[in-house]
Amino acid sequence: MERYVAFLRGVSPMNCKMPALKRCFEAAGFGDVKTLLSSGNVAFSAEPEIVPILESAAEAAMEEHLGRIFQTIVRPSSFLQGLVARQPFADFTLSAKAKPVITFLRRPYEGEIVLPIEQAQASIFKLERTEVFSAYVPDEKGTALGALLERKFGKAITTRTLETVRKCAAS
């Protein structure tokens, strides 16, 4: 069995109860299922498989048991552990107030992009195949980063803080 983490787009405690989400992943045949941080992060064990098959199984179970689908992006825990261990933001100068985030793309980005991109205290620094490394400074207006990421990479994405990724990788 291999350990995986599913990052679900758009989940919050207001639109999906974590026990119901856990049951969906168990119904999909996954083992040792744990929801993390009440915001659409699910750790689970499964036989080694290609990621799109795991994503499809999770989404099919959500449709059947919740009546809705949250876009699901899966990564092996070992991949996330390696990502965190190499300190992906070490090469960038971040202000003390900045929140480093990782955006997970469902599939590798195939377009042209010139980086870094900076807008309204949000910066996209680096793209590595299916991960985008960014940072933003929170303020009373919210962040422009989400909209900026969607304009550049589409909606088949989901974003987590580096600290959330660290916690998910360790689960």
pLDDT of residue 136: 93
Q: Mark out the alpha helices in 46-118 (DSSP H runs).
A: 51-66, 77-85
For the cut 70, the answer to whether the pLDDT of residue 26 exceeds it is yes
Verify that 102 and 32 share a domain, yes or no: no
Last residue of a domain, one of 32, 64, 80: 80
Verify that 56 and 98 share a domain, yes or no: no
Report yes or no on 68 lying in a domain: yes
Mean pLDDT for the stretch of residues 9-34:
93
Query: For 74-125, what is each residue's pLDDT tens digit?
Result: 999 999 999 999 999 999 999 899 999 999 999 999 888 999 999 888 999 9
Last residue of a domain, one of 53, 80, 107: 80
Q: Could you tell me if 20 and 31 are in contact, meaning their C-beta atoms sit under 8 angstroms apart?
A: no
Instruction: Give me the number of domains the chain comprises.
Output: 2
Query: For 123-167, what is each residue's pLDDT tens digit?
Result: 999 999 999 999 999 876 667 888 899 999 999 999 999 999 999
Distant-in-sequence, close-in-space partners of 147: CB < 8 Å, separation ≥ 6: none
